[in-house]
Chains A and B, each alone.
Chain A
């Protein structure tokens, strides 16, 4: 069980290493799109967390 877990961790590390660098050309448009996506997701997660707190209260 423990060895399977360690194997999984090793595999995840290997994947992280393999894809550590983005291979798409990082033009200005791509950078802006990714930044906009980050902001969008942060706002959305914020809304979901806010709703969760509302439900708890």
Chain B
């Protein structure tokens, strides 16, 4: 009896912890899973097709990288009750504030276009015309935000996050040799030697793991959710879970393409889905569904990141807890970016490839600045108090930020000058 009562007590204790987490869960999970957006799926699919399982170890390294960067936004948002854009304006003045805000607006809009490219390409596989996809997505995203509650929006976004796990059964369906995955994937190695092409792939994987909009989005989401200082440990756990989940999904995508399409040059995830359909109808279909879901989730978060940032700076009402008549400008900017990005995809002969490449270039101008501001703001004792970065956090965070800045810059330069590192 005593054992049973002890077990029951433990069960109640853990169940309460789970319940508490479910209340706090959201911003970290959503931002991390949304990070596996249409561009991300393409990068992982191409990585698997090019190098098989050999770069899985590198993806695992990206878990702490993503976690340490994003958890800082949780602390900053909770303590200052400000989004990242407002924190930059307040901390560094109008010049750096406008630079970040305008850069974010351009980058988010361009990234949104790439999400629409991914979504239209994914549904085109099932014979859906692009205009139907664009209209459907805008209508769906309108319905998600117009209910006037952050909570509802977040739970719907989490549902789409769950759909992102579709790549896991896909990987089991292609029957990879587990011993090969473990042997090739978990031991650090550089397949074919460390050359320019491999370096480009490594940089592309880092570039898709940490994007500027993620910093702005998570900090604003933490503020809009109303998280308190006591929620910080759960916010950190939420971020860690999200970082792990996003890398796990990436690994399963690599396993799918590494098993079926090894040696094939992949230009886009939709191309991978079409090739996979020829081999296994269900796996290809899952890949296409996953690509659409990834684009949708990315679009949901990216359009909100811009609207929140503008609302913070211009002093507009900017909460998902407010109805459309209470936060007109917030919803107007949300729909404006969404509709214009969708329309670009429908323009015949639009330079979509150029836009996709340009995203990487613009990201390089914003990412280092946003990361440097983040570290500096987290060291501001006057505002952060006891939640200021410790020496260890500064060492780890500083090292990660320095590595990301260098690698993403090299990636951006290699996009501008493709022959530079050859």
Residues of chain A having any CB pair with chain B under 8 Å: 11, 15-16, 19-25, 29-30, 33-34, 37, 40-41, 44-45, 47-48, 51
Can you name the residue of chain B whose Cβ is closest to the Cβ of A23?
B90
Can you name the residue of chain B whose Cβ is closest to the Cβ of A30?
B376
Q: Are B382 and A48 in contact, CB atoms less than 8 angstroms apart?
A: no
| Residues on B with beta carbons closer than 8 Å to the beta carbon of A30 | 376
Q: Are B409 and A44 in contact, CB atoms less than 8 angstroms apart?
A: yes
| Residues on B with beta carbons closer than 8 Å to the beta carbon of A44 | 364-365, 409, 412
A34 to B380, CA, bound (A): 15
Q: Are B93 and A20 in contact, CB atoms less than 8 angstroms apart?
A: yes
Given the known inter-chain contacts A41-B369, A44-B364, A51-B417, please indicate yes or no for A33 contacting B91, CB distance below 8 A: no
Q: Are B94 and A33 in contact, CB atoms less than 8 angstroms apart?
A: no
Q: Are A47 and B416 in contact, CB atoms less than 8 angstroms apart?
A: yes
Given the known inter-chain contacts A33-B372, A48-B416, please indicate yes or no for A25 contacting B380, CB distance below 8 A: yes
A22 to B92, CA, bound (A): 4
A-B CB contact pairs (8 Å), 14 listed:
A11-B314, A15-B97, A20-B93, A21-B93, A22-B93, A24-B92, A24-B376, A25-B381, A29-B379, A34-B92, A34-B96, A37-B372, A40-B368, A48-B361
Can you name the residue of chain A whose Cβ is closest to the Cβ of B381?
A25
Q: Are B380 and A24 in contact, CB atoms less than 8 angstroms apart?
A: yes
Can you name the residue of chain B whose Cβ is closest to the Cβ of A44?
B365
Least distance between A33 CB and chain B CB atoms (Å): 6
A25 to B376, CA, bound (A): 10
Q: Are A47 and B94 in contact, CB atoms less than 8 angstroms apart?
A: no
A31 to B409, CA, bound (A): 22
Interfacial residues of chain B within 63-110, with CB under 8 A of chain A in the complex: 89-94, 96-97
Proximity string of chain B (352-390) to chain A, C-beta cutoff 8 Å, 1 when within and 0 when not: 000000000100110011001000110111110000000
Given the known inter-chain contacts A15-B94, A44-B364, A47-B416, please indicate yes or no for A24 contacting B377, CB distance below 8 A: yes
A24 to B93, CA, bound (A): 9
| Residues on B with beta carbons closer than 8 Å to the beta carbon of A33 | 372, 376
The answer, yes or no, to whether B168 is at the interface (CB within 8 Å) is no
| Residues on A with beta carbons closer than 8 Å to the beta carbon of B413 | 47
Can you name the residue of chain B whose Cβ is closest to the Cβ of A14?
B315
| Residues on A with beta carbons closer than 8 Å to the beta carbon of B368 | 37, 40
B365 CB contact (under 8 Å) in A19, A21, A41, A51? A41
Least distance between B409 CB and chain A CB atoms (Å): 7
Q: Which of A11, A22, A41 neighbours the largest number of chain B CB atoms within 10 Å of its CB?
A: A22
Q: Are A15 and B416 in contact, CB atoms less than 8 angstroms apart?
A: no
A6 to B300, CA, bound (A): 32
| Residues on B with beta carbons closer than 8 Å to the beta carbon of A15 | 89, 94, 97, 313-314
Q: Are A51 and B90 in contact, CB atoms less than 8 angstroms apart?
A: no
A46 to B313, CA, bound (A): 29
Least distance between A22 CB and chain B CB atoms (Å): 4
Closest 8 A/B residue pairs (Cβ): A24-B91, A22-B93, A19-B94, A19-B89, A16-B94, A51-B416, A22-B92, A24-B380
A34 to B97, CA, bound (A): 13
| Residues on B with beta carbons closer than 8 Å to the beta carbon of A11 | 314-315
A15 to B93, CA, bound (A): 10
A11 to B416, CA, bound (A): 36
| Residues on A with beta carbons closer than 8 Å to the beta carbon of B369 | 37, 41
| Residues on A with beta carbons closer than 8 Å to the beta carbon of B379 | 29
| Residues on B with beta carbons closer than 8 Å to the beta carbon of A19 | 89-90, 93-94, 97
| Residues on A with beta carbons closer than 8 Å to the beta carbon of B90 | 19, 23
A21 to B90, CA, bound (A): 8
- Having A20-B93, A40-B368, A48-B361, one finds 16 other A-B pairs with CB under 8 Å, namely A11-B314, A15-B89, A19-B90, A22-B93, A23-B383, A25-B381, A25-B382, A33-B372, A34-B96, A37-B368, A37-B369, A41-B365, A41-B369, A44-B364, A44-B365, A51-B417
Least distance between B274 CB and chain A CB atoms (Å): 32
Least distance between A49 CB and chain B CB atoms (Å): 11
Q: Are A23 and B314 in contact, CB atoms less than 8 angstroms apart?
A: no
| Residues on B with beta carbons closer than 8 Å to the beta carbon of A41 | 365, 369
